[in-house]
């Protein structure tokens, strides 16, 4: 079934307004986890006890390895990865009063709706909410580990109904591997191109503007910003519907 997912934007500063308009033009920013407001992002518990190798160790050896992992966690959950993974955070709800307050500067910003059948929004992954922090298994595959860690959040964030798109950084040696693979297997060009396109880490990426279905203007948006955004929308995405949110007289 066709679904729309939403992203809230603050337009309080000229830079924030420009970024919102840039999104309307078909360019969207993926943030690094280090910039997020959840202090538990990328802070998984390390569980090495399930590894067959670890099971064969003595008690003292196990304790030593656990100390090492506490001091130097797996690369996928290390501080380095906080800067290397690009994440686009979306939500199911365009009318959440808390999210308008937290992410759209007290209802003065906007909320943009995206069609999940259009790339990159067709690769969204749902966030799960739990009372326990995710466990980083000693023998986990790196990408599986990244997904588990980045798609699990505290139950306190459940109201956000969040979905995420992840873009990992492609290191130079991996890029060289793809180049060499293409030389020997040119028939894999589409597969390689798709992998490179779907990744790249934090930064701004282009997308098809037809993915934008709607724009919600905050109840407290300034007349100047409202005019700028409506003008930009009419020029860049005339197909999208624009809604003006208002405070209800009777209900919250």
Per-residue model confidence (pLDDT) at position 169: 74
| Three-state DSSP class for residue 40 | coil
> Are the beta carbons of 118 and 211 closer than 8 angstroms?
yes
Ranges of residues in the chain with a pLDDT under 50 are 53-54, 65, 68-69, 71-76
What is residue 136's predicted lDDT score, i.e. its pLDDT? 62
Q: Are strands 128-130 and 125-126 parallel, antiparallel or unpaired?
A: unpaired
Do 42 and 82 form a contact (C-beta atoms < 8 A)? Answer: yes
The confidence score (pLDDT) of residue 184 equals 81
pLDDT of residue 2: 74
pLDDT at 68 (0 to 100) = 45
d(CA 248, CA 252): 7
């Amino acid at each position: 079934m066709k679904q729309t997912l939403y992203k809230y934007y603050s337009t309080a500063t000229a830079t924030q307004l420009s970024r919102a308009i840039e999104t309307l033009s078909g360019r969207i920013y993926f943030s690094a986890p280090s910039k997020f407001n959840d202090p538990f992002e990328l802070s998984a518990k390390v569980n090495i006890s399930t590894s067959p190798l670890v099971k064969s160790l003595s008690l003292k050896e196990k304790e030593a390895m656990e100390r090492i992992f506490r001091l130097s966690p797996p690369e996928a959950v290390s501080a380095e990865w906080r800067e290397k993974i690009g994440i686009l955070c979306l939500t199911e709800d365009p009318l959440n009063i808390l999210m308008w307050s937290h992410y759209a500067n007290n209802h003065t910003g906007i909320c943009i709706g995206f069609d999940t059948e259009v790339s990159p929004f067709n690769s969204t992954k749902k966030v799960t909410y739990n009372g326990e922090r995710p466990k980083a298994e000693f023998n986990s595959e790196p990408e599986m580990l990244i997904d588990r860690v980045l798609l699990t959040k505290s139950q306190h964030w459940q109201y956000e109904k969040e979905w995420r798109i992840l873009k990992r950084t492609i290191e130079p040696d991996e890029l060289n591997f793809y180049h060499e693979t293409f030389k020997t297997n040119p028939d894999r060009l589409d597969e390689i191109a798709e992998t490179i396109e779907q990744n790249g880490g934090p930064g701004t990426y282009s997308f098809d503007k037809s993915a934008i279905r709607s724009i919600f203007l905050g109840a407290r948006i300034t007349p100047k910003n409202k005019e700028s955004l409506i003008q930009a929308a009419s020029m860049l995405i005339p197909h999208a519907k624009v809604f003006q949110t208002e405070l209800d007289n009777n209900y919250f």
